[in-house]
Amino acid sequence: MIEKQSDNVENKEDNFSEDSNTSENLSVTEEKMNKGEDSPQEDIEKINAEDLKNTITNNDARLEQLEKEHETLKSQYVRISADFDNFRKRQSRDQDDLKIQLVSKALKAILPIVDNFERARQQLKPEGDEAQTLHRSYQGLYKQLVEVLKQQGVAPMRVVGQKFDPNLHEAVLREPNEEFNEDVITEELQRGYHLEGKVLRHALVKVSMGPGRQISQEPEEIDKVEEDIDSESSISEDN
Give the C-alpha separation, 174 to 153, whole Å.
32
Q: What is the mean pLDDT of residues 8-33?
A: 48
Q: pTM to 2 decimals?
A: 0.53
Mean pLDDT within 184-190: 92
Residue 163 burial (CB count, 10 A): 14
Confidence of residue 204 (pLDDT cuts 50, 70, 90): very high
Instruction: State how far the Cα of 184 lies from the Cα of 161, in Å rounded to an integer.
Output: 6
Fold of domain 154-239: Nucleotide Exchange Factor Grpe; Chain A, domain 2 (2.30.22)
